Amino acid sequence: MARCHPGPVYVYDLDRVTAAAEDLRAALPAPSLVYYSLKANPHEDVVRALRTAGCRAEISSAGELACALGAGFRGAECLYTGPGKTDGEIAHALRHGVLDFSVESAHELRRIDRIAAVEGRRAGVLLRVNGERAAPAGGMHMTGSPSQFGIDLELLGPALAVAARCPRIDLTGLHLFSMTNAIDEPSLIQELRRSIATAAAVCDQYGLAPRMLDLGGGFAAPYTQSGRRPGYPGLAQALRQELDLRFPAWRTGAPVIAFESGRYLVADCGTLICTVTEVKNSKGKQFVVLDAGINALGGLSGTGRLLPLSVEPVGIPRAADASGGAEVLGPAVTSARIVGPLCTPADLLGREVPVPRLRPGDRIAIPNVGAYGLTTGLLGFLSRPAPTELVVRGRSVVSASRLELIRVPVDREWEDDAVG
């Protein structure tokens, strides 16, 4: 199917999306909610599949809200998170029925209260807690250090006092998110249990009876390399025990327990298929140049932090040599730097990547890029066309589309207000 589309192609398999949602739900204590973090992949077909699978939507922008609504979510099924929400974004979300916001500061509480009054709405808020330092056993640490995320433990008292003076605010609970991409199940269990204990300590100290406790995520999945999503056979029982101890009425919804996931739910649904445009040697190093680089596959490559990369051949068992003979390519493996077509040395996807012997025109696949793939790339750099996104379920094509960056006129009245 991807052969029908020129240039790089992302293929998203919705059957894998559904399977991941079912696996995650089976691994979590019941009853609980699962929010899909649209930052991982905002393709509307992918979001719609997760809504059908029973997830809610975690959003951090007006664009993600529009995508969630387009995929069939109601505003009341969305949790609006993230630092730096503008007044316009908050008002826009309230007008579209968003009821729940994760709040990062006392100042944000005051702003939401003021905007809710103007809009004639009430806003439910979860106070995001910047708790203890996460253990060094995962991807990014999201707590326990100076951060734009969350309210430090010692500042929760003043924030709660502000919330009590905000008539348009309903303090519904707490939001804790300690880490991403836990290295293994024991590390994930340790961090989620620590978050539960922190939440219980906060509730005991301030006499809170939260209606919701969002414990965040940390669920892992391979990225840009071969592999399978991990299983979590012991997670549900471990968390049930901790919740029974700290929040005895949680099984009846006091509080409702929620989790968030982006990576785990969509990582293995996505494959990026690229074409080799050049193979060259430079000062003893082999370079494989692709028609897609950090403009098409973001991750952290543009910052100079490279993650392991797998390159899998697509339909190239043999090729003709210059004399017209046939040479078997598959078994011969070497290592190469995998780079893209951009005019910058930063366009590097991987160093010393094991690859089969490749030639210009060969197609390769980069696996497990359904999360943090296209929309984390430098889409606007060098104005190259974005890859095609091909969505499939089974052997059927659900959709084929391409993102475009376009320049549109700015409304003058809005512009004047922004400048003023």
Under the banding of pLDDT at 50, 70 and 90, the label for residue 410 is confident
Structure tokens at 385: 């066309």
- Are 158 and 106 spatial neighbours (Cβ–Cβ below 8 Å)? yes
Confidence of residue 333 (pLDDT cuts 50, 70, 90): low
User: According to the model, what pLDDT value does residue 316 have?
Assistant: 54
Question: What pLDDT band is residue 318 in, cutting at 50, 70 and 90?
Answer: very low
Among residues 410, 94, 36, 12, the alpha carbon closest in space to that of 258 is found at 36
For residue 26, give the 3-state DSSP assignment: helix
The angle at the Cα of 187, spanning 183 to 190, to the nearest 5 degrees, equals 160
Residues serving a catalytic function are: 343
Within 10 A of 207 (CB to CB), how many other CB atoms are there? 7
Q: Regarding the domain delimited by 271-316+332-403, which CATH topology (the fold level of the hierarchy) does it fall under?
A: Lyase, Ornithine Decarboxylase; Chain A, domain 1 (2.40.37)
Closest C-alpha to 43, from 78, 24, 19, 70: 70
Note the pLDDT tens digit of each residue in 226-275. Answer: 999 999 999 999 999 999 999 999 999 999 999 999 999 999 999 999 99
What superfamily would CATH give domain 14-261? Answer: Alanine racemase (3.20.20.10)
Answer yes or no: is pLDDT of 222 > 60. yes
Weakest mean pLDDT among 29-38, 135-144, 192-201: 135-144
Rounded Cα distance between 237 and 187, Å, is 15
* Cis omega (within 30 of 0) for bond into 308: no
Lowest mean pLDDT among 35-44, 137-146, 238-247, 285-294: 137-146
Pair of tokens at residue 3: 């052969």
Q: Do domains 14-261 and 271-316+332-403 have the same CATH topology?
A: no
What are the residue ranges spanned by the domains of the chain? 14-261, 271-316+332-403
Q: Report the half-sphere exposure of 251 (CA within 13 A, side-chain side).
A: 8
Whole-number Å distance between alpha carbons of 57 and 37: 6
Full 3-state SS string of 105-160? CHHHHHHHHHHHHHHCCCEEEEEEEECCCCCCCCCCECCCCCCCCCEEHHHHHHHH
Neighbouring C-alpha atoms within 13 Å toward the C-beta of 155: 13
